[in-house]
Amino acid sequence: MWNVLEHVSSPTEILARLRPWLALEGRLFLSLPNAGSTTARLLGRRWVLLLREHLWYFEPATLSRVLRQSGFEMIGTRPNAVTFSIRNALARAAQHQGIVGQLASRMSDLRLMSRLRVRFRIGEMQVVARPCPPSELQSL
């Protein structure tokens, strides 16, 4: 479920419906915004993943609870880094008004900027979960 859970109206319900599809040894892989990430906290309202289409935001602890309520156990989480061309990053910066936006707009027109790439943590997390054994499901 890459970039799905933050878009659905009821994450717990969707996850609970998925649970029977996985064998006990199966794994659920998710990628979604991490509202508790350093990037999200530093950028605040300017965080690039604050989008209208995101209905939910999770931190690892809250996602762990949602997974548990849905019959899963979180077994791992890690930050996700994305690769951007410098041109792409400048194009985003160019959307801001003022001198920074103007300078970014001019720089993004340079051909070299599309060849230069950087890896950046924008505040996404990758998560692995497994189905809870049937004996644990009864106590949820």
Q: Where are the domains of the chain?
A: 5-82+122-135
Pair of tokens at residue 40? 């999200």
pLDDT of residue 140: 54
CATH fit for domain 5-82+122-135, picks 3.40.50.150, 1.10.287.3510, 3.30.70.1400, 1.10.630.10: 3.40.50.150
pTM value is: 0.75
76-94 burial: b if 16+ Cβ within 10 Å, else e: ebeebeeebebbbbbbeeb
The residue that leads in pLDDT, 140 or 116, is: 116
